[in-house]
Amino acid sequence: MKTDVVGRIKNVSLAASKPLLPLYEAVVNSIQAIEDAGETNGHIEIAILRDNEHLFGEQEPDIGEIVGFEVIDNGIGFNDDNYHAFETSDTTYKAKRGGKGIGRFMWLVAFERVEVLSHFEKDGKMFCRQFDFIPEGDGIRNMDVVSSTETKRRTSIRLIGLRTKYQQQCPKKRDTIATHMIEHCLEHFIRADCPEIMLENHGTGDRLNLNNQFEHEMAMQSKRDQV
């Protein structure tokens, strides 16, 4: 059975007031990929992609309109099983984790395209799979798998071309996005094995450790009662 991605995404609801939901989906996928890899030193890097980068200054890193995000992790990557699950509409591959198999379609509701580049291990060797996910046909374009010279797993998901109605309601400041991210992924941040998650404005070098931010906000908001 073939999937008509355009028809599928028309049936996916994403309110303009929730422009960060596709980003949350990508980050949770990264957390789960790190779990699947059994990686004890997991890390995730989230880059905020903006236009008019020439306006960036050390004092004003949040000037440009957000046009996309990039999420990089050292999880298990797009091996054969994960790729086949990705190209299967409404897959039950992650049903035990509460996954409904539709999260990636939200990416194409809010963004023009998604670029995937994944270095993964198979039979003791490293391979690289890359493809574009677009709102045409079955959604997959330019898919290729080749041997990789990388020595470590690394997967990049680039959400490109944030559509206007979501861009208009997307928070612009890095720290505001960080707060929303922590609130949405709270169940992961409270776990001792939560990967290190960094958030930055692409090209400026200003990085925020969300794990430390979570610890700080939790300490600020907690209170002690004597029983």
- State which residues form the domain around 109: 5-221
* Any domain includes 226: no
Strand pairing class (66-73; 154-162): antiparallel
Q: Kindly indicate the confidence band of residue 95, based on its pLDDT and cuts at 50, 70 and 90.
A: very low
- The mean pLDDT value for 66-89 works out to 94
- The mean pLDDT value for 30-40 works out to 96
pLDDT in tens, 184-201: 999 999 999 999 999 999
pLDDT in tens, 126-185: 999 999 999 999 999 999 999 999 999 999 999 999 999 999 999 999 999 999 999 999
* Any domain includes 227: no
Single pTM value for the model:
0.88
- Number of domains present in the structure of the chain: 1
Q: Which residues of 132-142 are buried (b: 16+ CB within 10 A; e: fewer)?
A: bbbbeeebbee
- The type of residue at 51 is D
Residue count (the chain): 227
Say how far apart CA 65 and CA 127 lie, in whole Å: 35
* Any domain includes 96: yes
The CATH number for 129's domain is 3.30.565.10
- Report pLDDT for 108: 96
Angle at 118 between CA 112 and CA 119, to 5 degrees: 165
- Report pLDDT for 203: 80
